[in-house]
Amino acid sequence: MKLTSHGRYSYSPIVNRPSFTWPEGKRLAFYVALNVEHFSFDGTMGHTPTALSPPPDPRNFAWREYGLRVGIWRIFDLMAEFGLPMCHLLNASVCESFPDIPRAIRERGDEAVGHGYSNSERQADMDEATEARMIAEATETLAKACGKRPAGWMGPWISETAVTPDLLQEAGYTYLMDWPADDQPFWMRTRGGRILSVPYPIEVNDSPTMLSRAQSATDFCRMIIDQFDEMARASAQHALVCGISLHTFVAGQPFRLAQLRRALAHVTGSAEFENVWVTTPGQIARYAAGLPEGTLAE
């Protein structure tokens, strides 16, 4: 059997790559990503802590909407406690239905990353014309609501078609976050040029941890601590990216927020934290793109 290949990048062992550092000689880039998502009331797609019911499904719909009414505001407060910036993987429909949220993102000076129009659709289900139109409309909506257009994209459900990187590059995006293949940014090939892949955590991520695998909030706290400690140690050999991924309706629940607070207290109180670049994916992409040619894998 001959395996198919995506052709987007070549194999590159991290141990064979040139050494580089982040700004000010830092070795570990750390960011917090918050998924800010919107779902259709009569839709069949959505996260759930129990089981999906046939639509309409008020129990699960309202649980997800809790994240926009309550959870996100508690997460904003928690990040302010620790002085941490965030990037927001933002459905464009959030900007239309919940204008207080993009306003708060602007006021915090946070970064918005394109995350489709809503989480009730997947790009993999679209033809090329439909996908291109959705990317353009979502980009325009996010630019208007957030004050500037996003430079990065992660598809709803981390879903792509065979041409998604091509369409994003052609739409002016400089990086994407759908390919969790590395702990460093790397270049991907498209039909119109290159686009950068910025690492995004699908394991240190509250939704698959606590919803899909049914692990506890204390497990997630431990995962964050262990991930940070081990990556801080490994970054002595290679500059790395350590991200934490949250969802408003998951981490925004009070009992989970308590564990997130414990994890962030450890991270920010660590002796290694002075060697950490606290940043966002967009800043990572801009800095990485400016490194000497041949530094990043491609």
pLDDT digits (tens, 9 = 90+) for 79-133: 999 999 999 999 999 999 999 999 999 999 999 999 999 999 999 999 999 999 9
Tell me how many domains the chain contains. Answer: 1
Contacts of 71 (CB under 8 A, 6+ apart): 248, 249, 250, 251, 252, 253
- The pLDDT of 198-216, averaged and rounded, is 97
CATH number at residue 89: 3.20.20.370
User: Across all residues in the chain, what is the average pLDDT?
Assistant: 97
Give every CB contact of residue 80 below 8 A, 6+ residues apart in sequence.
108
Residue 3, in any domain of the structure:
no
- The answer to whether residue 176 is domain-embedded is yes
Strand-pairing partners, residue 247, are 35
H or E stretch at 81: helix 72-82
Is the pLDDT at 11 greater than 90? The verdict is: yes
- Domain containing residue 24: 19-40+51-289
Mean pLDDT value of segment 256-281: 97
**Residues in Cβ contact with 237 at an 8 Å cutoff, skipping those fewer than 6 apart:** none
pLDDT of residue 50: 87
pLDDT digits (tens, 9 = 90+) for 223-243: 999 999 999 999 999 999 999
- In whole angstroms, give the CA distance from residue 205 to residue 210: 9
| pLDDT of 72 strictly over 90 | yes
Q: Is the pLDDT of residue 168 over 90?
A: yes
- Asked if residue 241 is part of any domain, the answer here is yes
Is residue 73 pLDDT above 90, yes or no? yes
pLDDT number for residue 253:
98
Domain assignment present for residue 64? The answer is yes
The verdict on residue 216 lying in a domain is yes
Question: What is the full DSSP assignment across 191-203?
Answer: TTEEEEE----SS
Band of residue 144 on the pLDDT scale cut at 50, 70, 90: very high
Phi, psi dihedrals of residue 114, rounded to the nearest 5°? -60, 135
- What local confidence, expressed as pLDDT, does residue 6 receive? 96
Coil/strand/helix, residue 214 = coil
Is the confidence at residue 180, as pLDDT, over 90?
yes
What would the mean pLDDT of 279-294 be, rounded to a whole number? 98
Query: Residues 13-27: pLDDT tens digits?
Result: 999 999 999 999 999
Task: Express each pLDDT in 41-52 by its tens digit.
Answer: 999 999 999 888
What does the pLDDT read at residue 52? Answer: 87
Model confidence band, residue 270 (pLDDT cutoffs 50, 70, 90): very high
| 226 three-class SS | helix
Compute CA distances 8 → 123, 135, 164, 183, whole Å. 18, 20, 11, 17
Asked if residue 295 lies in contact with residue 18, where contact means CB atoms within 8 angstroms, the answer is yes
Q: Residue for token digits 């679209």?
A: 126
Tokens of 149: 């257009």
pLDDT of residue 225: 98
Q: What is the mean pLDDT of residues 181-203?
A: 98
Beta strands 193-197 and 186-190, pairing class: antiparallel
Structure tokens at 89: 């993987």
Percent of the chain with pLDDT over 90: 97
Q: What is the model's pLDDT at position 102? A: 98
